[in-house]
Structure 1
Amino acid sequence: MKLPSLQQLYYGFRNVIKRFPLQFIFAVAATICWCYYIHISDYRYHSEPNEKLEGHLIKAIAILNLALTLLLALDLISERNQYLPIKKWMLRVGGILICAILYFSLDPANYSADLYRIFLFAFAFHLLVAFAPFIGHAKMNGFWQFNKALFLRFLTSALYSAVLYAGLAIALVAINGLFNADIRWQTYMTLFAIISAGFNTTFFLAGIPTDYKLLEEDQSYPRGLKIFTQFVLIPLVTIYLAILLIYELKIAVQWQLPKGLVSSLILGYSVFGILSLLLVYPVKETAGNNWIKLFSRFFYVMLIPLVVLLLLAVWKRVGHYGITESRYILTALALWLAGITIYFLFSKKQNIKVIPISLCITSLLATYGPQSAFSVSKFSQLSRLKRIMSSTKKEDIKERPAVIRYLVYTHGLKTLQSFTKKDLSKIEQKIDTSDTYRYSMKEKKVDTALAIFKVRDERKYDEGVNIKLQNDENQVLNVKGYDYLIPINQYPNENLIRLNGADLKIERSNLNVSLSINNQPSLHIDFKALFDQAVKAYQKGELKAIDKKQAYLYPAKLMTVSKNINGYQYTIVLTTLESTYYDDNRDDYFWNETTTYLLIKKL
């Protein structure tokens, strides 16, 4: 790979500004927004964070990315079809208007649905760039060569950007270490933003092909690409296939529904397989490459049972929990895979442009409209909520808060308007203007919905009741008559002590404290058992309160254990034991703080 000279970089930069002026402006604007976001984040712990401003900056970065890719696709269409400047600018203005509408209509900071929409639009617009110059042009070689050039340019841009960032970051580390410059993490993040959003984007744009006729005539094929496909991608596809076939056999034998993880494996198999076929597409007709045709047919034949398995995995989740955006997308991908499989198995044309075009259309259809992921998901979950709100089954009652939380987080509080006569739009607007923190705003909306529908959130964190037990005879430790006092650390540890010829080992854990003498277990106090016994007394109202801070006197005999061994009396005394009692009886975790001593006296 030949490194570009400074002159080449300069000409490339100048050509980008001339060829893609708006895209360059969007890249610079996104870089500025990102750097400013990093800057205001620096004061998060020094002043009240302005989350609304941060939300606008994040949204601006996302929309600028959409604008860059959409206008890049439109400019490529204009170039290929040699549109007049006025028509070219009309397309550009149309693209800018679309992105402006998206900016003012989307609110990803408050609604998860809009976050999904941004990802879907970004995916669709990136796919649009791949085939935009070849709309209405049937030749496949130019399409493949164009995307090969984009793919290699993307890898080159990523490599150059990574090396540049690493070099400059190491230089900053050196300056910081040698000159005590106090360079903070914000500087490194700003540098990363400038290189990844500014330099990387500009460098990539400079390498986009311009001569489409030359692409049609180009018959070159990188040998390394074939080696990479044949010895890396295809073996990976084979491994995925073997795992999936064995799992499918297991399902058939045990006659059980598939697990959710199988969806990821099938999609991984599909992605690697389709990518492998696309990378070797130009050489499939050349001599000695009959294995490509064989692999192509074998790949799509094996997709048939896997698509069925994928649909079963989705149906298992949808049948019980209804449709959500992620399950909708998974279902759409499964149906798309089924369509692609049928096309490449039975079509004689084998038009590879079908892959990005169909994926792009599928993504756009999922963004807005009655068929979109959000309309279908909202309808499904509202129907589910209506059913479980009228149900008296225990499992349905437990599911109510989760469905309400999903609808509020994803679609907003007003989505639940059909369930109440209260004006939820006004309530939501009031909450939005009363709090600057996004998380607390969302939680207030959820709490409001739960209160309106009189639904108890079983998943709500149980803060519990803090109880502090104090030894009723040793609130202040009485050491009269003892010869030695050894404090026992409240944190888990192990102490080895040699005293008067005896080896003492004190072991402290979260659950207990124990003493071994000459490797023989001698004394033991179980904190968990002691506290559980105290909780029962607390529930019955039998504990004597010391103050209003949940401190209680507890019998000394229950907080003390003593034993005479070889002419010595060993006593472990707890003066305090503090922990938290939970209504849901959590047995998997026991937190405590203790004040514990080992007392020793010679008999």
Structure 2
Amino acid sequence: MKLPSLQQLYYGFRNVIKRFPLPFIFAVAATCCWCYYIHVSDYRNYSEQHEDLKDQLIKAIAILNLALTLVLAIDLISERNRYPLKKKWLLRFGGLMISIILYFSLDPANYSADLYRIFLFAFAFHLLVAFAPFIGQEVINGFWQFNKALFIRFLTSALYSAVLYAGLAIALVAIDGLFNAGIKWQTYMTLFAMISAGFNTIFFLAGIPTDFKMLEEDHSYPKGLKIFAQFVLVPLVAIYLAILLVYEIKIAVLWELPKGLVSSLILGYAVFGILSLLLVYPVKETAGNSWIKLFSRFFYVMMIPLVVLLLLAVWKRVGHYGITESRYILTALALWLAGITLYFLFSKRQNIKVIPISLCIISIVATYGPQSAFSVSKYSQLGRLKRIMNSRKKDDLKEKPAVIRYLVYTHGLKTLQPFTKKDLSKLEEKIEGTNNYRYSKRMNKVDTALAIFRVKDEWGIETGLSITLQNDENQVLNIKGYDYLVELDGYPQEKTIPFYGTDLTTNKIRSKISLLINHQPALQIDLKEVFVQASKAYQKGNLKAADQQQKYLYPAKLMSVSKNINGYQYTIVVTSLQGTYYENDVHTDPWFETKSYLLIKKL
């Protein structure tokens, strides 16, 4: 395929800026964010600040994608209805404000629910572009021709972008090999970002049809689409159907509930079948294409038992484990398929616009409100947790940590407030305010919840609260006034040191550090007791976060012990203590990672 000339690219570029100014700006902004993300992703610059910046850049790219598709749909509506410039910009401003609100209200890095919301909005807004110019218009052929043009333009843009990137990447490899230029991987990724997010998007926008009236009068049909549907999609549909029919027979014979995998097969059958019918829609009435009507009727008739099977599969999962976002979406798709099947079996209109419009509405409805996927899922899992919280059944004990982990990951620690008098919002804010990495923060939230509710994890081990304590006066060991220093090994080990005719023996056994003088006990610090008291202070929010990752300051006097013996002062100082606190204390002899020293002063 011939690549576009520079003149064509220039005119297309200028036309996009004039016709779609805001989508053009969003495409450029997304490209810049992606390039900057590549720059800060260098592992040598890895830090908490870089992780937060990367999260913000990823969110910015996602929201810019939403803004581009939403404002593009608004521009297409304005073009089709020939709105005046003032009204057009007012609508664009409305789309921009919606995008800004989404940016500040969504936090996909910390809450899985917001990640689902972004995907649902993206799906809905892309569907909106497909039918936006035809809202209120009874023009089916124009709608099909418009989406055909978008589909072909998308494939063309992808092909041109792939060829352009491959050519430029090979040129960079040649330069690097011939001139030892030292081109880094970031250069290749930046080039990929500029072509895929910048060139590809702008090239696609330049090919969006402008004359909607002419689309309705256009009855051209690419033979390639018919061939693709007839010899690729229809055979795939037949394969999926054959597998599903054999599986239904197995269910009927063995009288067992369907497995979860069957949902994917049914959705695959539905997607390929509906797509093949959409691709051949304009020629279904032409001579020689009677197979299309037969296939359409057969496809939707076979959807009836498959939808029943899909609903049974969903009901099996929901009945055992309650509703989650994925099960909500699967249920919504099953009900949508049932409605679409009945519509195309019994409706005389056969309006294919119903497909994208209904899917768009369902996606929007699932994002916010009491009927949304997230509200329904949250209350379903809270109800499930309430039902099993005080249960001692084996299955319930196994389910509790999974439910708690889901609620914390998806909706936050504060979601569990009905089950405790502790201020979980305050605890969550404290964890968010630490210098820990995002993964550590999420794990801390889960560990805190499991510790508060005294729940064991899936492996039958009580999940504790992991923190690191730093001596607030000895982050750098202060040896002023002491005459001798002995570094104590952090691993279990007994070590004897001759000291002016005296044998000093230091011993670390799991949770205790001991000093023996002439093999007689002289001094001891119990690390377990220190850690238990510190962990309780942490849960009450009384520990101050240190500057270093995952560390909290703890009073020096509580991390050291001293004793005067035979004219010498012996002091054991713990400068760093890391471990896990188990509220039920089922681990009677825990192991701690420590940095500790023996200081000696002659009196």
1:264 and 2:258 aligned: no
* 1:431 and 1:441 in contact (8 A); partners too: yes
Distance apart, 1:161 and its partner CA: 0.6
Q: How does 1:307-456 map to 2 (within 5 A)?
A: 307-456=307-456
* 2:139 and 2:216 in contact (8 A); partners too: yes
Which residue pairs with 1:128 in the alignment?
128
Amino acid at match of 1:194: M
Q: How does 1:136-175 map to 2 (within 5 A)?
A: 136-175=136-175
* 2:456 and 2:462 in contact (8 A); partners too: no
* 1:117 and 1:367 in contact (8 A); partners too: yes
How far does the alpha carbon of each residue in 1:520-565 deviate from its partner, in whole angstroms, 9 at most, with x for none?
Answer: xxxxxxxxxxxxxxxxxxxxxxxxxx98689xxxxxxxxxxxxxxx
Which residue pairs with 1:599 in the alignment?
none
What is the rounded CA distance, in whole Å, between the counterparts of 1:459 and 1:350 in structure 2? 54
| 3-state DSSP of counterpart to 1:146 | helix
Which residue pairs with 2:276 in the alignment?
276
Distance apart, 1:442 and its partner CA: 0.3
| 3-state DSSP of counterpart to 2:74 | helix
Q: How does 1:61-76 map to 2 (within 5 A)?
A: 61-76=61-76
Amino acid at match of 2:173: V
What is the rounded CA distance, in whole Å, between the counterparts of 1:48 and 1:307 in structure 2? 47
Q: 1:42 to 1:244 in 2, by over 3 A?
A: same
Q: 1:425 to 1:365 in 2, by over 3 A?
A: same
Which residue pairs with 1:89 in the alignment?
89
Which residue pairs with 2:39 in the alignment?
39
| 3-state DSSP of counterpart to 1:50 | helix
Q: 1:389 to 1:143 in 2, by over 3 A?
A: same
Amino acid at match of 1:403: V
What is the rounded CA distance, in whole Å, between the counterparts of 1:129 and 1:269 in structure 2? 25
Runs of 5+ unmatched residues, structure 1: 464-545, 551-603
Amino acid at match of 1:148: K
Amino acid at match of 1:450: L
Distance apart, 1:366 and its partner CA: 0.4
Amino acid at match of 2:30: A
| Alignment: residue pair count | 468
Which residue pairs with 1:111 in the alignment?
111
Which residue pairs with 1:58 in the alignment?
58
Distance apart, 1:267 and its partner CA: 0.4
How far does the alpha carbon of each residue in 1:225-262 deviate from its partner, in whole angstroms, 9 at most, with x for none?
Answer: 11111111101111111111111111111111111111
Q: 1:101 to 1:122 in 2, by over 3 A?
A: same
What is the rounded CA distance, in whole Å, between the counterparts of 2:134 and 2:428 in structure 1? 47
How far does the alpha carbon of each residue in 1:122-156 deviate from its partner, in whole angstroms, 9 at most, with x for none?
Answer: 00000000000000110100000000000000000
Q: How does 1:290-305 map to 2 (within 5 A)?
A: 290-305=290-305
Which residue pairs with 1:190 in the alignment?
190
Which residue pairs with 1:234 in the alignment?
234
Amino acid at match of 1:107: D
* 1:51 and 1:436 in contact (8 A); partners too: no
Distance apart, 1:436 and its partner CA: 3.9
Amino acid at match of 2:102: L
Which residue pairs with 2:4 in the alignment?
4
What is the rounded CA distance, in whole Å, between the counterparts of 1:37 and 1:461 in structure 2? 39
Distance apart, 1:435 and its partner CA: 2.7
What is the rounded CA distance, in whole Å, between the counterparts of 1:549 and 1:179 in structure 2? 60
CA RMSD, Structure 1 to Structure 2 (Å): 1.7
Amino acid at match of 2:174: A
* 2:48 and 2:437 in contact (8 A); partners too: no
What is the rounded CA distance, in whole Å, between the counterparts of 2:165 and 2:325 in structure 1? 36
How far does the alpha carbon of each residue in 1:104-128 deviate from its partner, in whole angstroms, 9 at most, with x for none?
Answer: 0000000000000000000000000
| 3-state DSSP of counterpart to 1:434 | coil
What is the rounded CA distance, in whole Å, between the counterparts of 1:109 and 1:268 in structure 2? 30
What is the rounded CA distance, in whole Å, between the counterparts of 2:380 and 2:47 in structure 1? 42
What is the rounded CA distance, in whole Å, between the counterparts of 2:228 and 2:89 in structure 1? 41
Which residue pairs with 1:29 in the alignment?
29
What is the rounded CA distance, in whole Å, between the counterparts of 2:73 and 2:459 in structure 1? 46
Distance apart, 1:188 and its partner CA: 1.1
What is the rounded CA distance, in whole Å, between the counterparts of 2:39 and 2:461 in structure 1? 34
Q: How does 1:218-229 map to 2 (within 5 A)?
A: 218-229=218-229
Distance apart, 1:401 and its partner CA: 0.7
Distance apart, 1:166 and its partner CA: 1.1
What is the rounded CA distance, in whole Å, between the counterparts of 1:436 and 1:101 in structure 2? 28
What is the rounded CA distance, in whole Å, between the counterparts of 1:110 and 1:299 in structure 2? 42
* 1:413 and 1:428 in contact (8 A); partners too: yes
TM-score (ref. length: structure 1): 0.76
| 3-state DSSP of counterpart to 1:127 | helix
What is the rounded CA distance, in whole Å, between the counterparts of 1:165 and 1:2 in structure 2? 15
Amino acid at match of 1:345: L
What is the rounded CA distance, in whole Å, between the counterparts of 2:201 and 2:47 in structure 1? 34
What is the rounded CA distance, in whole Å, between the counterparts of 1:158 and 1:140 in structure 2? 27
How far does the alpha carbon of each residue in 1:269-327 deviate from its partner, in whole angstroms, 9 at most, with x for none?
Answer: 00000000000000001111111011001000000000111111111111111110001
What is the rounded CA distance, in whole Å, between the counterparts of 2:95 and 2:461 in structure 1? 46
What is the rounded CA distance, in whole Å, between the counterparts of 1:197 and 1:418 in structure 2? 45
| 3-state DSSP of counterpart to 2:401 | helix
1:253 and 2:253 aligned: yes
What is the rounded CA distance, in whole Å, between the counterparts of 1:46 and 1:365 in structure 2? 39
What is the rounded CA distance, in whole Å, between the counterparts of 2:234 and 2:198 in structure 1? 35
How far does the alpha carbon of each residue in 1:349-381 deviate from its partner, in whole angstroms, 9 at most, with x for none?
Answer: 000000000000000000001110000000000
| 3-state DSSP of counterpart to 1:415 | helix
Distance apart, 1:4 and its partner CA: 2.4
With 427-436 and 142-151 compared, the bigger mean Cα shift is at: 427-436
With 1-10 and 387-396 compared, the bigger mean Cα shift is at: 1-10
Q: 1:184 to 1:460 in 2, by over 3 A?
A: farther
* 1:142 and 1:215 in contact (8 A); partners too: yes
What is the rounded CA distance, in whole Å, between the counterparts of 1:45 and 1:77 in structure 2? 45
What is the rounded CA distance, in whole Å, between the counterparts of 2:336 and 2:353 in structure 1? 14
* 2:3 and 2:160 in contact (8 A); partners too: no
Amino acid at match of 1:351: N
Amino acid at match of 2:333: L
What is the rounded CA distance, in whole Å, between the counterparts of 1:460 and 1:116 in structure 2? 31
How far does the alpha carbon of each residue in 1:66-90 deviate from its partner, in whole angstroms, 9 at most, with x for none?
Answer: 0000000000000000000111011
Which residue pairs with 1:511 in the alignment?
none
* 1:257 and 1:313 in contact (8 A); partners too: yes
What is the rounded CA distance, in whole Å, between the counterparts of 2:46 and 2:283 in structure 1? 61
Which residue pairs with 1:286 in the alignment?
286
* 2:402 and 2:458 in contact (8 A); partners too: no
Which residue pairs with 1:568 in the alignment?
none
Runs of 5+ unmatched residues, structure 2: 464-505, 511-603
Distance apart, 1:169 and its partner CA: 1.1
Identity score, percent: 82
What is the rounded CA distance, in whole Å, between the counterparts of 1:420 and 1:150 in structure 2? 54
TM-score (ref. length: structure 2): 0.76
* 1:113 and 1:411 in contact (8 A); partners too: yes
* 2:142 and 2:216 in contact (8 A); partners too: yes
* 1:50 and 1:436 in contact (8 A); partners too: no
Amino acid at match of 1:288: G
How far does the alpha carbon of each residue in 1:9-42 deviate from its partner, in whole angstroms, 9 at most, with x for none?
Answer: 1101110010001111000100111111110111
Amino acid at match of 1:104: F
| 3-state DSSP of counterpart to 2:433 | helix
Q: 1:30 to 1:348 in 2, by over 3 A?
A: same
* 2:455 and 2:462 in contact (8 A); partners too: no
